[in-house]
Amino acid sequence: TYYGAEQVMPHYNVMGVAKAALEASVRYMAADFGNDGIRVNAISAGPVKTLAASGIGDFRFILRWNELNSPLQANVTLEQIGQSALYLLSPMSAGVTGEVHHVDCGYHTVGMMNPHRTGDTADLLASFKPKYG
């Protein structure tokens, strides 16, 4: 899933609705299957360069914005997402179900841009040339 399920993201449109439905399904399936010992969780990864991401307008801007404003000041890697999946599949997470596990360098925790990176953010905004509009 993706942060676009929780907050409005530019150009994400109906995918945000689909991801929100996916996250709700995780919770309902966890409740339905828990009695059988089946755990259901999801990973909400930060933006990653994928074929699907190439269809999102201004994706490079989104990547840089995430990097500048996430607490870890980085973008998540495919390896980090895979490691989180291994955790969820392992016995270490035996008591975890119905969770949406964020792997986004902490971006989902941020309420405003990082004030220590305003110069970098200003440079990014100045260089921004939207594809649409």
Q: Active-site positions?
A: 2, 12
Sorted by sequence, the CB contacts under 8 Å of residue 39 that are 6+ apart come out as 30, 33, 88, 93, 94, 96, 97
- Report strand pairing: 100-103 vs 42-45: parallel
Nearest CA-CA partner of 113 in 73, 53, 86: 73
Sign for the CA dihedral angle at 56, 57, 60, 64 comes to negative
